[in-house]
Chains A and B, each alone.
Chain A
Amino acid sequence: MNHPDEIELQSFAEDCRQRLAGHVEALDPALQTRLAHARRAALDQGVQTSGPRAFRVPSVWLPAGVCAVAASLSIAVWISRPSPTAAPTAEAVAVEDVEFLASGEEADFYAEDTTFYEWAGSASGAG
């Protein structure tokens, strides 16, 4: 960095540095006092809130957590819904019986394979 312009710029930078340092030193006592109070307040507040802390959920994760819980609940509700292919309950069978009796269908229609059922029953009973 030997170019005259660059040397001049370096000299200018040094002048600026000295002027700014003087500006810092010239801070009036009232402002220095206020800065000291600000420092003390920051230390007091900071020390109270620092140290071993309880677990805190970062705010970034909060919406994601809410979504995850909502999704889990939805899945749980979906899974616990009664399946249409599940075995009929006692109430459902009773309703079917009433419907059968009320329909007036011929009983023979349901007794077509009586012979087969008799054979099947005797076969299983014979072991």
Chain B
Amino acid sequence: MNLKLTRKLKEVIASRLMLLITALSSMLIFVMILGLFLKARLILATQSLPELLLSTSWHPLRGEFGFYPFILGTIWVTVLAMFFSIPSCLLTSIYLTEYASAKIRAFIKPLIDLLAGIPSVVYGLWGILVVVPLVKDHIAPLFGYPTSGYCLLTGGFVLAIMVFPVLISVSEEVFRAVPHEVREISLALGATRWQTVKHAQMVPRIKGIIAAIVLGFSRAFGETMAVMMVVGNVAQVPSSVFQPAYPLPALIANNYGEMMSIPLYDAALLLAALLLLLIVLVFSVGARIVLLRIERRVV
């Protein structure tokens, strides 16, 4: 009787404890948003949000906190990275799912996955040592722009390489989700493999592909270290891809903890963090919803 009671008690305690811990970790995101908001409120009290977001003037000492250059920098780096990575990643994942034999796939896939494990700082170093000089001495001269090499193009390129493994594996999943029958039917009708990919797999699944890409990039958006090392970090609105920029994550990482005596400075940085968090959240939740709905429809 006694044994039975303790068993039961342990069971109750264990399950409650696990529930509590799970609840805490799942609430973490809301706690973070709330915390950031409470801190950022100070700056929101002095200036309106649109003002902060659209002003180009970043002079903390004068109390001017315009986020526009940073937001633009973030968007540009991400867009460039998408431009470089989407075509090559799509083609890679199509090759791996549709053309490659099992042997080739077993050989290539781990090599790509390995890229995901390389520390961000190593990508940054590689960017400085290889991509920066390449852009400075070879690519920019082609277009007649003088540049130090520390610029948007370099940042976008390095970021593109970093999202390769994620993007390849999410788009590979989308293609792999295509039932084998679709492939068979299309080929049996006399289509070539490429026609099959294009008409039977890509076009009907364009939403899924876009969602996969967005999901891949919701991570890229907040990527800090490597981009920060090569993008120049100048608080200006860039007018070409050969100019330096200053993305939001770099702004936060470079400045938080320093110059904190300036009034409202930390509130401004925390607002930047909040913005970044919310944007990434909106993108990844949106993409997940689209992907979920597609999966359900296929079943």
Q: Do A and B come from one complex?
A: no
